Each structure stands twice: as C-alpha cells, then as structure tokens.
Amino acid sequence: MTKLAISNGEKTKTKAFPKWPYSNERELELVGEVFSEGNWWRMAGDKVKTFEKSFAALHDVKYCIGVTNGTHAIELALATLGIGPGDEVIVPAVTFISTGSSVIYANATPVLVDIDPETFCMLPEAFEKAITPNTKAVIPVHMAGHACDMEKICAIAKKHGIKVIEDAAHAHGGQCSNKMLGSYGDMAIFSFQNGKIMTCGEGGALITDNEELYQRAYLIHGVGRPDGDRIYEHKVLGSNYRMNEFSAAILIAQQERLEDMNKKRHENALLLDSLLQDIEGITPQGRKDYATLITHYMYMFYYDSNYFNGLSRKDFVDYLIAEGIPAFISFPVLSETTFFKNNDFNGHLGKFEQSALNDLSNSKIIAENVVWLPHYTLLGDNQDMTEIAQAIKKIQDAVNNK
C-alpha cells in the first residue's frame, strides 16, 4: 500500500500548481505609469476611472465605483439604499462573513435563509418565505461563481418592493441565462482580495445601472464630497472607501486576462468532475442550466467520511494538503460563528434570533460536509487535475485498508 505523505510518504503532487496571484510585465507597466506620473490618488489620476469604465462595460452596466475592498462595497451598497435600524436584509446562511456582518454594520438585522443543496446558492422560495414588512433588501451570493437563480429572485423582490444587492465577490465575468452577473440587481458588489479571480491584494467594486444610486454611492464613498470639490463641501454623511491608483492599475491588467482564465477554469472543472465521478463519497457542486458561465472561484465538493473509514473532514483536508493539494473546509453557517453565538455585535445589533420559520437544513449539511480547492488549482493542466483525483483516491485507499 502506498504510504500517505502526511506519514512521510511521497507526495502525489509532482509539480507546483500555477502561482497566484498571477502577474506579468503588464502589471509592472501600468503600476510604473502611476509611479512616473505621480498621481497616486483617484482624484488626480486616471487609472481608477479607466478601470471603472472597463469593469462596468464588462458587466453590461453603466456605472462602477472602485472601492477599498468587497466588505466595504457591501456596506456602501446598504448605506446607499438607506438601510438602517429596524430594517431586515435577507442573506444566505452559508457565505463569507462579510455578507452578514455588513448588514450588522448598517445597524440592520440579517435574516438567514437556506441554500440549494446542489449549487450552494440562495433558494428563491426560502427568500420569499422569509419576507416580512421589515424586509428592505436581499443579498444573493453567487457561490464559487455559480449564478443564483436571478430571474426568480428578482421577480420575487420586485413583487414585494425589495432591493437586490448581488454579492458577486466570486463571479467576475460570470453569467446567468447569458446575462452578466451584476446586471440583474439594483446594485452588485465584487471583491479583489488576494485570493479572488481578479486581485490587487485588497480592493472591491460596486456596479449599478441606476444613475441616482450611482451618484449617491459616489458621494458616500468619498466622504460626502462631489467630484471636483475644492471647498470641502460634504453633501451627505460618508466615509472613505476610495480605491487608489496602484490598485486600479493592477486590476486593469488582471481584467485583460479574465476571459481566458474563466474559460480555463471551466474546462478543468468539467475534467475534474469526470475524474472524481468514480470516487465514492465525493460529490462536486452541481450545475444548473441557467448558470451559463461559472467562474469557479472555488472547486467545491461534498465529502462523506463514511467512505473514508470515518476520517474527519478536517483530517481529510490536512491529508490533501500534505499530498500537495491546497484545500479548505466550507464556510460555516453564519449564526454558528463565535460573535453571532455570543451576540457580540459591538453595539450595532441587539440579540440575534434565527427565525424558527426559516429552515436551514441544507445549509447545515453543506457547512459540515463541504471541502473546497482554490481556483488557481483549476488553472493547471490535465496532469494537475489527474493528480488531484489521485490524491483523493490515495487517501481513500489508505484509510480504508488500515
């Protein structure tokens, strides 16, 4: 029997995955322009404006605002919509913490709803069931770049007068029914954190097709000052969410190769699906027909320990890492994080109570059983995909033959 790498055996992975973040001379060229021009601030330079224009065009909307990070983009969207005390915002129960914590920072109440057991995206029927007279917005999350069912979600929201903020932090360039993600809702947000499929280390964007929302968001993101202000006129209460010129320069280069990378990840995800289909206990994230372009920010799959001699998910991930395959466990259910359980919201919210009407059974199963691989593993070649599958099979065989 082959010895596991975690027990000092030979690693399955024979070569490194493609590096991430990826950059080349294009990033250096554009950042060099910022250096040489000496305009490092968006109010003096042109890189942020250039990026905003191209990123808006990519997603078929009129307006984009580059911001400091994806978390701030959600906070900005909520502030722009006037979300505050007494308001409720519906969010999926399994997502990165910022989707829920941003609602709390707005002094509003996040309402958690269940997600689809195949796609890990918000269930439209769960969203509609959770609506109350206090519901002001919904934040569907395109999990790992798989589109939520935006046509159904938007129809429900319109019927009830609810604003839609798409959390597209994983979905740069993704599509639903051949329509760009980010162009369905009243607003959408993106993240450019170090691990995202476009990155500048830390950064974010808010996009919209609504001029009134854009103008208000622009004021808020620039501490309330209108474009070109020279007299310190603060028209609204705002904060400083402005992107700098260096970040925008990097993102211009990152966007230029996004289409090719999305295609590569899609092809490799399909290949990996086929390689894993005969390994019992491993079930990849599903696909719906309406998800016409999946960006695959993460390659997610269910892990069933019953087919691995009871090996815990944590140990399975550790074994994978030892074999040279980077891996992580799923996001938890938001309400199971420490500060939610302790009702420790720094004065932004009183006691959080999950409604008994909102069944989170799918979310709990996903949070307890899903594993994911980072997107750069899907930028490799056929050998990389084969070695991922071989590593999983190697672990299964080893633990089942103890």
Work out whether the CA dihedral 382, 383, 386, 392 comes out positive or negative: negative
Q: Which of 129, 130, 128 shows the shortest CA–CA distance to 159? A: 128
Give the Cα separation of 399 and 13 in Å (integer).
Answer: 19
Give the Cα separation of 78 and 340 in Å (integer).
Answer: 20
Note if 196 is an active site residue.
Answer: yes
Residue 183 CA from chain centroid, whole number: 16
Considering 196, 314, 364, 393, which one is annotated as catalytic? 196
Q: How far is CA 268 from CA 21, 59, 340, in A?
A: 19, 24, 37
Q: How far is CA 88 from CA 48, 65, 71, 119, in A?
A: 33, 25, 18, 25
> Are the beta carbons of 48 and 251 closer than 8 angstroms?
no
Residue 39 in tokens: 């305009």
Neighbours of 289 (CB within 10 A): 6
Residue 324 φ/ψ region, left for φ over 0, alpha for ψ in the -120 to 50 degree band, beta for the rest: left
Residue 309 CA from chain centroid, whole number: 33
Could you list the active site residues? 196
